[in-house]
């Protein structure tokens, strides 16, 4: 499938791909490269309701980075 990158760098995942991989509004995708390819992986983020937003954002960013390495 062919998608076009917008002037802001955005793309739309085609509906058949979203359905196949159960990607829905609000889901997170980790983006990386492998052998000259752009790779998207769906990741599950567990919410931590006891921490403030700033603490949570820092934690979530680190967790995403760790999963991609």
Residue 7 lies in a domain: no
Residue 42 lies in a domain: yes
Residue 64 lies in a domain: yes
Span 3-26, pLDDT tens digits: 999 999 999 999 999 999 999 998
Say what the pTM is: 0.61
Residue 10 lies in a domain: no
Question: What is the number of structural domains in the chain?
Answer: 1
Count of alpha carbons within 13 angstroms of residue 32, beta-carbon side: 12
Residue 35 lies in a domain: yes
Who wins on pLDDT, 35 or 48? 35
Residue 9 lies in a domain: no
Span 29-38, pLDDT tens digits: 989 999 999 9
Q: Structural domain of residue 30, as residue ranges?
A: 15-68
Computed on alpha carbons and rounded to an integer, the radius of gyration of the chain in Å comes to: 14
Residue 50 lies in a domain: yes
Residue 29 lies in a domain: yes
């Amino acid at each position: 499938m062919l998608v076009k990158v917008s002037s802001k760098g955005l793309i739309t995942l085609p509906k058949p791909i979203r359905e196949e991989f159960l990607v829905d509004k609000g889901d997170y995708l980790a983006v990386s490269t492998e052998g000259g390819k752009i790779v998207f992986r769906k990741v599950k983020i567990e919410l931590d309701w006891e921490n403030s937003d700033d603490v949570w954002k820092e934690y979530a960013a680190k967790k995403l980075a760790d999963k991609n390495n």
